[in-house]
Amino acid sequence: MLKILFGDNALTKILDFFLENRFWDYTKTDVAREAEVSRVQLYRVWPILEKLRIVKPSRKIGATVLYKANTESPIFKKLSELALEIASKAHEETIKEEEKVAVPVEA
């Protein structure tokens, strides 16, 4: 949902991914694939996500670190609220558009 406001860039795609998948953990490779960004793009923005504590390591499988959304982060909470508000407004607009094109049904 943040893409609607902030555009279709790597950081926004990754943020949207974690907002939609906040309860599970992922490798960086998984995040890049699912968010539809290149690994290069992911590695460019990842330090921002860690510095702001939007993501956090959750566990290790062998040498592989898995990460998840830091749902306790005040920034993540605000982003979540913003995404919800954007989704709500987008839904309202969709309903308004559907009402404009609705054809009355005769009984």
Q: Is residue 107 part of a domain?
A: no
The pLDDT of residue 92: 76
What CATH number is attached to the domain comprising 63?
1.10.10.10
Q: Give the closest residue to 58 by CA, choosing from 28, 16, 81.
A: 28
Q: Compute the distance between CA of residue 102 and CA of residue 93 in angstroms, rounded to an integer.
A: 14
Q: Give the closest residue to 81 by CA, choosing from 4, 19, 29, 27.
A: 19
Range of the domain at 46: 2-101
Q: Compute the distance between CA of residue 54 and CA of residue 31 in angstroms, rounded to an integer.
A: 14
Instruction: Provide the domain count of the chain.
Output: 1
The pLDDT of residue 102: 59
Query: What integer is the mean pLDDT of 21-32?
Result: 97
Q: Is residue 106 part of a domain?
A: no
Assess contact for 75 and 53: CB atoms under 8 A: yes
Check whether 90 has a pLDDT greater than 70.
yes
Q: Is residue 86 part of a domain?
A: yes
Check whether 103 has a pLDDT greater than 70.
no
